[in-house]
Structure 1
Amino acid sequence: MKYFFILISAVFFSYTGFCQENQLWKGYFSYTSIKDLATSPNRIYAGSENSIFSKNLATNEIKTTNTIDGLPSESISSIYHSNAFSKTLIGYQNGLIIVINDADDAILKVVDIINKQIPPNIKKVNHFMEYEGVLYISCDFGVVQYNLNTLQFGDTYFIGNNGEETVVSQTAVFDGKIYAATADIGIRSGDITNPNLNDFSQWSTAAAGSWVGVETFGSNLIGATSSGALAKLQGGTFITFTSLPLTIKDLRKAGDYLLATIQDRVYIYNEQLIQTRVIASSEIETMNVVFNCATMIGDRVFIGTEENGVYGTTLVPSAFQNITPNGPLRNNIFAIAATTENLWASYGDYDVDYNPYPLEYFGVSKFSPTGWLNIPYQAIKDAVGKDVASIVRITPNPADENQVYFSSFHSGLLKFQDDVPEILYDGTNTTNGPEDPPGTGTYRIDGTAFDKSGNLWVTNSIVRHALKVLRPGGGWQSYDLQGVYNNVLRLNIGRLTIDKNGTKWMPTRDDGLIGFNDNGNVFKTIKSGADVGNLQINNVRVATVDNRNQLWIGTTVGLRVLSSVDSFLSEGQLTARPVIIEEEIDGVKVAVEFLSQQFITDIAIDGANNKWIATADAGVFHFSANGEDVLHIFNSSNSPLPSNSVNDIEVNKSTGEVFFATTKGLVSYKGTAIAANDDLKNVLVYPNPVRPEFSGTVKITGLTDKATVKIADIEGSLVYEVVSEGGSIEWDTTAFGKYKVASGVYMIFISTQDGALTTVKKVMIIR
């Protein structure tokens, strides 16, 4: 095990620099879950889960900032914009603070709170309040000063009883005092000019009870209680002037107005504390909108919501406009599926034991050249007349990309045609179709797959007839798996894959990998144990066939390979082998098992037959076609990957783009491993010329499979030679890896495997 982590460390240091070439990455984030809002005179800022966006009200220009741009993958809890210092500050649940300079978008990471010697679960940043060039940062342990001019921290105030930590939700300065709202010890106050405020005894109790907010508003200091009361400080006492029906989630001054937000309403008050307007969530056409916060610029009101982004309206009742950037429904994406033109995403899930509860009622998303199309859950329910919970997988029909099937791990199999939900297949409308495990009322369908004849093969968990097929004509057939599993009530089957021989490979939780070929109705299994398959464990999560017909098997504790899928037809007991690589440790070469003890969630194959491995908590591993060389390790520390928990990987073999669906967002890496061409008519060399500041590799695309590529200088001396795997190669501009080649023009000679087709290209290197 220790060797594995040494391997990770070695590759990490090799590739950190490369991973930061963010032009190779793209982000496809959702900005719908709004945590906080901020304003400047002409721009509204919104912080979502791990990214932010802003809109210029004069030009309507929308700008996004996410992990691709350098933001960390941590969860945002607060956002603030300082007009005086032209900086945007982002606070995080773990205590991290990011400072973005408006002039050049430079990002400063501030880790002082993270490094404080206090429990890590009480470092959350709740609120920023600026006063005379100093930010007072409310945290789950107290209040911290941050100087916006020097970008240095000042004092920390632990204002709890006897100087203990206490959760501070908001601060305000009023009449020479700073007030801090807390849930446990009321509102505490101290003299803002007192240099000894870091002494808890210098703070006094301004109001007892539980308070969620405090704000200066004109000539008043306003407090909000956890029970929904709004009170103003009068004669040294907070006097309630109104009570709202629910807990106040956000209290703030915006221009000449005070806004108090509860989950279904925004209350707006003028300086006389007279209610000017109430905005109800029911006024918005979208159903079940939940408010989180609200602010104003002039007479324009902006409302941040829990799942629907930011809505804009005006103080005088008018139409609502959603100003959220285009993106998927959610960041926590469970599965994706790529076609030539489109990428689909689904958001339902199940846990490690294939338990779909609590059920997820989310729609699906489609990304196309025209942008994102989000199909909400309610539209699906209305179309098929039933609830469709926990949609976990997507299977486009390879013969018709406009026909897509969605697997629900609770409700059956859902068919879309031309982006419209058409029918939900379950036990009520099929014969031999999706079955209900007795007494559950569920139809647990996971990943499905089309065979070469257009049949759609379906796995159905916790039933005897766990393998089914939907024929092109609409009829269903089912197959009894009794005899290949130990307990039908524990027969949980994942997404299947079909090889060139028509063998269906089905990962299971407790019964290893099941293979089935309907030519003779033959079942075989690969299980843990030297004599029954050589898996490390029977909990298999994925099985993927590569371009050379090897079967790569991912389990909850590592990786195995079946050398050829043909062995299903020719051998009795199938046996998988581990992937062994050599690592030099302390000067000694040691054989280690690659990805030992890693929970593998997906395996994808690119156009060069390289492997992309997704893991539950260690990011993504990319290794060569033969499994011997680690090409990249991507994680949230060394790349824009927003989470180390990667649920799914898809490769667009036409473009080489590799998509990663994580629990915190969807990103892609622009690889060069694209599918092979039939000829050499579209060979492309880029960048060309290679300028001195470029530090990457030269890409040559448009190749046939196993094309020979030779690169020589102008005098004919060979500097590089390789045979392509798939439709592309990369050249690091060195002479066979020894040294960087000199400036000059280099000739690229390309020929197909049989030598029938040839072409010559040039590339200029400028050092």
Structure 2
Amino acid sequence: MKKLLSYFFLSVTLFSFSQQKLWKGYFSYNEITDVCISPSKVHSSTKNSVFNKDVSTNILTTFTSVNDVKPDEITAVFQTSNKYTLVGNKNGLIIIIKPDGTTLNKVDIISEVQVSANSKRINDFYEFNGKVYVSTQYGITVIKLSNFEIEVSFYIGNTGENIDVLQTTILNGEIYAVTRNQGIKKATLSNPFLYNFSQWSVFNSSNWLSIVTFNNQLAAMNTDGYTYRFLGNTPQQFSNQVASGLKLRTDNTYLTISNQWQILVYNQSFALVSIVYQIPNFPDSFTCAITKNDKLYIGTKKSGLFETTVVNPTVFTNISPNGPIEDYAFKVTKTSNDLWLTHGAYDRTYDPNYKFQGISIFNKNNGWGKIPTTELQGAVSLAAVAQNPRNLNEVFVASGHSGMLKFTNKANAFLYNQTNFLESVGWAPGYISVRINGMKYDKDGNLWLTNALVNKGIKVLKSNNTWQSFDLSTIVQSPEYVQYGNIDIDKNSTKWVATYGRGVIAFNEKYNNKYIVINQEESNLPSNDVRCVAVDNRNQLWIGTFTGLRILNSVDRFISESELTTTNIVIQEGDLAQELFYQQVIQDIKVDGSNNKWVSIADAGVFQVSPNGQTTLRRFTKDNSPLPSNNVLDIEIDEVSGEVFFATDKGLVSFLGTSTKGDDDLQNVYAYPNPVRPGYSGTVKISGLMDKVNLKITDIEGNLVFETTSSGGTVEWDTTAFGKYKVASGVYMVFVTSSDAAETTVKKIMVIR
């Protein structure tokens, strides 16, 4: 990946975390990585978030990128005695969540520990006498609780080399460390030379996974499937044999043994109290477990965190916050009432990964729900979603391998495949792969889609429920080898189809099945690997490729011309002229209600640029915004609210934008917040507007304080008089007039200082 050109950074308006109210997080809390306890709470983590439950109030609190918890990949979570939450990561980052909820990123291990970057994983935390002993992939790092600074690091391999330390504990003045392949090491805690590997001895040379201090004894889990307690130096087996051991945890009342397929709980006499083999109705494996107040908390790989009783654990309650199925957000689509999120995947060439995963659906009234895998007719690699505009109860979901699903009222899935209108690749006898990717409804209620790797690559499900296919073999070389990206449709009903390796295919059946190919050789594309296309509100076609951006200045040219040439956008920064998104991998482009373009760049976040691309309005990255990842796979815009959704490989977030689609009339104009109360520092939004209305705001005496022409359906007012000073308390009149002066409306805004 080439570095983004410097002019991007010069023109970007950086996001301030003080404006986090502009963001929402839609994270999953199902893939549990660790669990721990504090006096009043149970704390748990996923790869991308942390949450806790107050055991007395049952209040759930979440920590995600929206409130500054932006992990690499969470591997351990721990609550200190002074109520700080430590969040360990795969790359060595430690995120500290303070008691007031603010956060601090400790990068000391990343920046100061002199070992390879891929050997800094945090495995576990252990607190003793004002210090936290951090078990890591390279050894042990000691952090002082008083200021969270690193005091010392121990490299305790047999010859002083780095060694993977899985867990530590302290008993009778000695520190014990379970290592990946050199047994249990121990040393005298008061020894001032513990940084010297020669001061550590082998306590037991067998293969161990975990160690804790329980009832004034050492208990350790062995790779042989048994857990042992040590009587002096002698291990005594006491547990059942269970394969796939994970970790030991204790609340000092019970010892919990976590294995992939069993959770065992022992009392202080090392007698078995209970055993859990499976959580009813959740056929899932376990990841961790711990007890507190006679309750047992069990983390699962895909189903969340469960609470049950230590004794007779028969009733299980899922206590994870509500969220989507998983954080990997592949395609996101806003339908009339819901947000649909698919979790499939494919590679650069659109080959599917055969991922079998359900569909997550968010409703603002009911929260998250899902269509489980059992209701998908076996379809895998689910991607694009399209709602039938003439029957809002019908939603179609593309599969990169199995065809296309039709849902009625979010259920009753019907699969279109090679047995009913769609076509499979013809690679080998008996091999079936029906690859549907791009889907788009036209203004006549017909659903257009691409069927990859076959001659008849463009298909349409008409509004009368009949099918038609169009042969591309006369216009595209070897269509049986062509993979397709997304599809967009302009006002003339021309279909614009992104392809891998063939540029853009433009097609319109209303003009005698006319085709035009826009490619690198003849049309000035920087690459024939076109990742996305988007028709904007001024009938320009924006083309995102693997190596840059191109614009077709008018889609109307398709009607009268036989060849189409694209142009780049040149930005002038001082004396330097640069091409917009030069040689960047453009993953998605979406057009908002003000005709601004939202562009995601592979591993570089998201840009919002002006309608002509000359001005960068915003740039969001993981560093300057709540984006959990710079790898934004898909963008979606709610035309009614202006909310912009970013689907990433580490979760779904949204930015509460104001660029909404213009209404057809002025019947639904409203202002919010209204009234504007003391202390409010944001802007007032006037929404429900037609495009290009004239909007004036005056005080009650008729003095003009603001005037603009709308672009889209929403206008913002910063409650100042033309940006000079904050207006005083009072009632302000909003006068709205359509561009042809045929419609007018008046609204009032109350400002209270």
- TM bin (shorter chain): over 0.9
Alignment counterpart, residue 416 of structure 2, candidates 395, 418, 425:
425
1:49 is aligned to 2:70: no
Name the residue aligned to 2:587.
601
Letter in 2 for 1:59: T
Alignment counterpart, residue 258 of structure 1, candidates 243, 255, 258:
255
Deviations 1:51-87 (A, max 9, x none): 11112222222221111111114211110112x3122
| Counterpart contact for 2:457–2:479, Cα < 8 Å | no
1:447 is aligned to 2:454: no
Task: Tell me the distance in 2 between the aligned counterparts of 1:418 and 1:642.
Answer: 32
| Counterpart contact for 1:490–1:510, Cα < 8 Å | no
Q: 1:558-577 counterparts in 2 under 5 A?
A: 558-577=548-567
Name the residue aligned to 1:286.
282
Please say which of residues 35-44 and 708-717 is displaced more in the overlay: 708-717
Name the residue aligned to 1:194.
191
Classify 1:424/1:764 alpha carbon distance in 2 versus 1 (closer, same or farther; 3 Å): closer
Deviations 1:240-293 (A, max 9, x none): 444633131121113321111111111222222222222102x42123x01000
The CA RMSD measured in Å over matched residues stands at 2.3
Q: 1:567-646 counterparts in 2 under 5 A?
A: 567-584=557-574, 588=575, 590-646=576-632
Task: Tell me the distance in 1 between the aligned counterparts of 2:617 and 2:229.
Answer: 62
Structure 1 position 580, deviation (Å): 1.9
| Counterpart contact for 2:71–2:89, Cα < 8 Å | no
| Counterpart contact for 2:455–2:480, Cα < 8 Å | no
| Counterpart contact for 2:423–2:454, Cα < 8 Å | no
Classify 1:24/1:303 alpha carbon distance in 2 versus 1 (closer, same or farther; 3 Å): same
| Counterpart contact for 1:433–1:476, Cα < 8 Å | no
Structure 1 position 489, deviation (Å): 4.5
| Counterpart contact for 2:403–2:422, Cα < 8 Å | no
Alignment counterpart, residue 205 of structure 2, candidates 181, 185, 208:
208
Task: Tell me the distance in 2 between the aligned counterparts of 1:474 and 1:742.
Answer: 58
Name the residue aligned to 1:525.
517
Classify 1:469/1:379 alpha carbon distance in 2 versus 1 (closer, same or farther; 3 Å): same
Q: SS at 2:193's partner residue?
A: coil
| Counterpart contact for 2:71–2:93, Cα < 8 Å | no
Name the residue aligned to 2:33.
35
Name the residue aligned to 1:173.
170
Structure 1 position 743, deviation (Å): 5.0
Task: Tell me the distance in 2 between the aligned counterparts of 1:434 and 1:395.
Answer: 20
| Counterpart contact for 1:31–1:49, Cα < 8 Å | no
Letter in 2 for 1:335: K
Q: SS at 1:401's partner residue?
A: coil
Deviations 1:380-428 (A, max 9, x none): 23xxxxx211111111111222211111111111111011133111112
TM-score normalised by structure 2 residue count: 0.94
Task: Tell me the distance in 1 between the aligned counterparts of 2:407 and 2:747.
Answer: 45
Classify 1:10/1:175 alpha carbon distance in 2 versus 1 (closer, same or farther; 3 Å): same
| Counterpart contact for 1:183–1:226, Cα < 8 Å | no
Task: Tell me the distance in 1 between the aligned counterparts of 2:589 and 2:690.
Answer: 24
Unpaired stretches in structure 1, ≥5 consecutive residues: 382-386
Name the residue aligned to 1:9.
9
Classify 1:67/1:679 alpha carbon distance in 2 versus 1 (closer, same or farther; 3 Å): same
Letter in 2 for 1:111: V
Name the residue aligned to 1:340.
336
Name the residue aligned to 1:384.
none
Letter in 1 for 2:520: S
Task: Tell me the distance in 1 between the aligned counterparts of 2:251 and 2:475.
Answer: 66
| Counterpart contact for 1:380–1:421, Cα < 8 Å | no
Deviations 1:615-646 (A, max 9, x none): 22111111122222211101111000111111
Alignment counterpart, residue 466 of structure 2, candidates 472, 475, 492:
475
Q: 1:508-519 counterparts in 2 under 5 A?
A: 508-519=499-510
Name the residue aligned to 1:65.
63
| Counterpart contact for 2:2–2:584, Cα < 8 Å | no
Task: Tell me the distance in 1 between the aligned counterparts of 2:751 and 2:422.
Answer: 61
Letter in 1 for 2:579: E
Q: SS at 2:6's partner residue?
A: helix
Name the residue aligned to 1:730.
716
Task: Tell me the distance in 2 between the aligned counterparts of 1:484 and 1:124.
Answer: 53
Identical columns (%): 41
Alignment counterpart, residue 678 of structure 1, candidates 644, 664, 669:
664
Task: Tell me the distance in 2 between the aligned counterparts of 1:64 and 1:406.
Answer: 31
Q: 1:83-102 counterparts in 2 under 5 A?
A: 84-102=81-99
Deviations 1:427-476 (A, max 9, x none): 12x1x423333323110111211222222212111111111112233332
Q: SS at 1:515's partner residue?
A: strand
1:144 is aligned to 2:136: no
Classify 1:361/1:625 alpha carbon distance in 2 versus 1 (closer, same or farther; 3 Å): same
Alignment counterpart, residue 434 of structure 1, candidates 423, 442, 454:
423
Structure 1 position 500, deviation (Å): 1.4
| Counterpart contact for 1:340–1:654, Cα < 8 Å | no
Please say which of residues 54-63 and 415-424 is displaced more in the overlay: 54-63
Task: Tell me the distance in 1 between the aligned counterparts of 2:230 and 2:318.
Answer: 36
Letter in 2 for 1:327: G
Q: 1:106-185 counterparts in 2 under 5 A?
A: 106-116=102-112, 117-185=114-182
Classify 1:743/1:73 alpha carbon distance in 2 versus 1 (closer, same or farther; 3 Å): farther
Classify 1:608/1:166 alpha carbon distance in 2 versus 1 (closer, same or farther; 3 Å): same
TM-score normalised by structure 1 residue count: 0.93
Letter in 2 for 1:251: L
| Counterpart contact for 2:221–2:247, Cα < 8 Å | no
Structure 1 position 319, deviation (Å): 1.5
Unpaired stretches in structure 2, ≥5 consecutive residues: none
Structure 1 position 113, deviation (Å): 1.3
| Counterpart contact for 1:676–1:702, Cα < 8 Å | yes
1:654 is aligned to 2:651: no
Name the residue aligned to 2:273.
276
Task: Tell me the distance in 1 between the aligned counterparts of 2:550 and 2:58.
Answer: 52
| Counterpart contact for 1:636–1:643, Cα < 8 Å | yes
Name the residue aligned to 1:366.
361
| Counterpart contact for 2:11–2:615, Cα < 8 Å | no
Please say which of residues 649-658 and 223-232 is displaced more in the overlay: 223-232
Name the residue aligned to 1:304.
299
| Counterpart contact for 2:375–2:413, Cα < 8 Å | no
Task: Tell me the distance in 2 between the aligned counterparts of 1:445 and 1:335.
Answer: 14
Name the residue aligned to 2:652.
666
Q: SS at 1:267's partner residue?
A: strand
Classify 1:197/1:229 alpha carbon distance in 2 versus 1 (closer, same or farther; 3 Å): same
Alignment counterpart, residue 502 of structure 1, candidates 476, 490, 493:
493
Deviations 1:480-528 (A, max 9, x none): 1103323335300112122111111111001000011112111111101
Q: 1:730-749 counterparts in 2 under 5 A?
A: 730-732=716-718, 739-740=724-725, 743=728, 748-749=734-735
Letter in 1 for 2:96: V
